[in-house]
Amino acid sequence: MLVRKLKELIIEKIIFLCGVLSIIFVGLIFLFLLKEGLALFKFISPGGFLFGKSWYPISEPAQLGVLPLILGSLIVTLGAAVISIPIGVGCAVYIAEVAPAKTKEVLKTGIELLAAIPSVVLGFIGMVTLVPWVKNIFHLPTGLTALSGSIMLAFMAMPTIVSIAEDALYSVPKSYKEGALALGATRWQSIYRVMLPAASSGILAAVMLGLGRVIGETMAVMMITGNAAVIPQSILVPVRTLTATIAAEMGEAVVGSEHYFALFAVGIVLFVISFAINVTADLFLHKKR
Amino acid sequence: MTPKIKIENLNLWYGSFQALKEINAAFLEKRITAIIGPSGCGKSTMLRVFNRMNEMIEGVRTKGNILIDKENILDADTDLVVLRKKVGMVFQRPNPFPLSIYENIVFGPKVHGLNNRYELEQIAEHSLRSVLLWDELKDKLNHFALSLSLEQKQRLCIARLIAVKPDILLMDEPCSTLDPQATSKVEELMRELKNNYTIIIVTHNMQQAARVSDDTGFMLLGELIEFGKTEDIFTKPKDKRTEDYITGRYG
């Protein structure tokens, strides 16, 4: 009796520990990030960091303006959004509303496979196919540009956008569609006048989550965006993103140096952006219910 | 009087299951015809043949003729958009779109190509007046339609239909989700709409059929057992099965 109770108690505690562990880890990571990142501001003002226009971490004195990196990340993300949102939402509509059952299965499997491609493989494929192509079409000195990054990242955002948007469309009550068709609407009219508005919050959430994935992506962008930390004047120039900066420079930064702390501060900026995107997505998802 | 709708030798299968068997009937203009029968007898299927909504289900086959104003709507080259504009449908569960009240009503006209704002507003007012909702809702046209009460929603769905100027209204158990008071209001509305529309209503509420309809058809296991004036069906049914159903021996 007592043994049994003790057993129950121990199992209960272990499960509880598993439950709170993830929160503890997130908290610890965040604290560590804050501690290391905020130490930067002993050397440089927050304004100088956020709005500084040049990133030369190893020059003397080091210039640690993160603005080119933020803009680099944003332009790549924006480009990926412009490409992946219409295609992704279109694909979701096709799967949810138009495709016959067999095509639907094939497409869904295809989308899952797309999600399963490691980003380094996508980056590699982009490097040998897309980069020369961009170079030739736009007559550029190099094909390693924000555009190349956007196109590759669009492939990474699409699976998320398609599967969540398709769920949203699928959960729209069938009676809306019936009602629209019974009023003499064509299939397309019923989709864009009724189904899409009805699923809009879920579709917005899908888009936000897809973009969240893009902004946090590192390997592919590092391989094909050219990594030049300058403020981008167009989408056809090399850029450097927040993620690529951390990945490329962390190995060579001296622990405890300005540069080291600055990379953690870049991590905080990235964290804040992803967090904002995820919260927005969550808001849209909950608005629906 | 030539009938508005004439059904000739209608058969319908869902896969290998035959849901309608050799149905022949004629529906008269500007009358309410009720189709009654126990669950699963095919009455909803029958209703959905008139605007060919059955075709949304895979594996449906239909044989026979349905003449609406002497045109066979089961012809392969029937334009479904035109047909559904002419033959409107009210569903069992009120299904207003998740849009504003105004957008719900002008949905049909807009889909059919009308864009003139003034005309759309006229249509909205006329349709809401026809379902006796105008006074209640005229100041709330921009409100979200899903915030209405069930009865208001069902009226709105009827208004939405009226806005496309149909000839025939199909009603698939339009009151089954409403309380008795709301039901009697919708029934009152149906009697009023009868002056302008040919109405076919499916119901398994026999009292409702007796109250509102002029003609009644009784269906059982996919067959139309008896069809005639409502008073005749309810007071002197010819078929034993009709009598049994009406007196409540099964159903």
Confidence tier at A289 by pLDDT (50, 70, 90): very low
In A, which residues are within 8 Å of B88 by CB distance? 182-183
Q: What is the pLDDT of residues A13-67, one digit of tens each?
A: 999 999 999 999 999 999 999 999 999 998 889 998 999 889 998 888 888 899 9
DSSP B227: E
CA distance A231 to A239: 8
Would A208 be classed as within a structural domain?
yes
Per the structure, the complete domain to which residue A229 belongs is given by: 55-288
What mean pLDDT comes out for the span A100-125?
92
From the list A176, A179, A186, the residue facing B81 with the nearest CB is A186
Neighbours of B37 (CB within 10 A): 27
Verify that A219 and A179 share a domain, yes or no: yes
pLDDT at position A165 over 50: yes
Answer yes or no: are the C-beta atoms of B11 and B62 closer than 8 Å: yes
Confidence tier at A94 by pLDDT (50, 70, 90): very high
- Determine which helix (DSSP H) or strand (DSSP E) holds B171, and give its type and residue range: strand B168-172
Answer yes or no: are the C-beta atoms of B75 and B20 closer than 8 Å: no
From the list B93, B98, B160, the residue facing A183 with the nearest CB is B160
Verify that A226 and A161 share a domain, yes or no: yes
Would A20 be classed as within a structural domain?
yes
Q: What is the pLDDT of residues A237-283, one digit of tens each?
A: 999 999 999 999 998 888 888 999 999 999 999 999 999 998 988 88
- The mean-pLDDT minimum among A13-27, A119-133, A160-174, B128-142 falls in B128-142
List the domain boundaries for chain B: 5-246
Answer yes or no: are the C-beta atoms of B104 and A193 closer than 8 Å: no
In B, which residues are within 8 Å of A176 by CB distance? 95, 97-98
Verify that A87 and A190 share a domain, yes or no: yes
Q: Give the nearest chain A residue to B105 (CA atoms).
A: A183
Q: How many domains are there within chain A?
A: 2
pLDDT at position A216 over 80: yes
Would A47 be classed as within a structural domain?
no
Which ipTM value was assigned to this complex? 0.87
Interface test with B, best of A181, A183, A288 (most B CBs within 10 A): A183
Tokens 């959960």 correspond to A171
To the nearest whole Å, the CA of A190 is away from the closest chain B CA by: 9
Domain harbouring A149, CATH code: 1.10.3720.10
How many Cα neighbours within 13 Å face the side chain of A74? 12
**Contact between chains at B53 and A179 (C-beta distance less than 8 A):** no
DSSP A96: I
* pLDDT digit string (tens) for chain B, length 251 residues: 678 899 999 999 998 999 999 999 999 889 999 999 888 888 899 999 999 998 888 888 999 999 998 889 988 888 889 999 999 999 988 999 999 999 999 999 999 989 899 999 999 999 998 888 899 888 989 999 999 998 899 989 999 999 998 999 999 998 888 888 888 888 988 998 899 899 999 998 888 988 999 999 999 998 999 999 998 888 888 888 888 888 887 76
From the list A179, A185, A186, the residue facing B95 with the nearest CB is A179
Verify that A199 and A59 share a domain, yes or no: yes
What mean pLDDT comes out for the span A112-129?
92
Would A228 be classed as within a structural domain?
yes
What mean pLDDT comes out for the span A174-202?
91
Question: If you count DSSP H runs as helices and E runs as strands, how many of each does chain B have, helices first?
Answer: 10, 10
Q: Which residues contact A247 (CB under 8 A, 6 or more apart)?
A: A218, A219, A222
CATH, domain range B5-246: 3.40.50.300
